[in-house]
A and B are shown apart, each in its own frame.
Chain A
Amino acid sequence: MSSSSTTTTTTRLLMLKASDGVTFEVEEAVATKLGAINNMVEEEGSEDLICLPNVNGKFLGMVLEWCKKHANNNTNSDKGNDEVNKWWDKEFVMDLDQNTLYHLLMAADYLSGTELVDLLTEKVASMIRGKKVEEIRETFKIKSDFLPGQEEEIRKKNSWAFE
């Protein structure tokens, strides 16, 4: 604890380039909430432009929006940060259509955004919970690909769980 450090954090900016060429300028503290970016920054040191060939601009933008929100909420030394984050997370996933949800999840996974992966997998799980098999198929547009009789057999085998 040397001088009274008034937060003179020189915020380094990183340039992130998505697969479709869209670039984002992001504070290092925000981008390094993503494990993959954090590793790149640590390994490559001074590199300011990071290319991310597996995420397109739309989903990278959304992932970064989430990171920014969480980074900001965490620096605000308010008491109810967890609450704020939770509330904001809920809003964030509330109206996602399935297409966006899955692509965002894959983007978050690719970027090792563990907390975001948790949030999104939980969202998908919440769409499964409490549903019957037929309802699951309906929700996720899954077609049964069993051979005739196979499904019946599986159900019979698991009938102990249906009681």
Chain B
Amino acid sequence: MRPKAKHRIHILGDDLLEEVLFRLPHRRYLSHYTSVCKRWHSLISSPHFMRRFIQFHHYHRHHEPSYSILSTLQLHIHKPLAEIVSKKSKILHGKPSPSSGSYILHNLPSNAKIMTSCKDLLLLSPSKN
């Protein structure tokens, strides 16, 4: 440990650091910050964090809801829906995504219909069977 380590943000426990990160505007933003250091990476990448992040933003509606539509939907169906960086996403983006991901569009709710897409955003609508 360097001498001034106790003055650093690292002294905050996970709970408090999460409280700080919840206050950032949206997911895209956050995924930047996974590359800050290992701790931030593991905090931000955890599904538990993402769920709470979304709940936080739902609760504090004073900010414009600028996180992605998919994340919004995720709250209601409890699936890792937002991660569509996948092999199959080339269907939507017209080019393969950089990561050959383990997250695939099968994670979409079975009753959802893709209305349109733009970059990492999908517009879904519940289909009437």
Contacts and interface: CB of A to CB of B under 8 A. Distances in A.
B8 interface: yes
A142 B36 contact: yes
A125 B37 contact: no
A157 to B, nearest CB: 5
A102 interface: yes
B9 A160 contact: no
A98 to B, nearest CB: 6
User: How big is chain B's contact interface, by range?
Assistant: 35 or more
Interface string B1-22: 0001011111111011001111
B70 to A, nearest CB: 12
A143 B24 contact: no
B8 A98 contact: yes
Interface stretch (B27-35, B46-54, B72-80, B106-114): B27-35
A157 B16 contact: no
A1 interface: no
A6 to B, nearest CB: 39
B48 to A, nearest CB: 18
Interface string B28-67: 1101111111101100000000000000000000000000
A43 B104 CA distance: 52
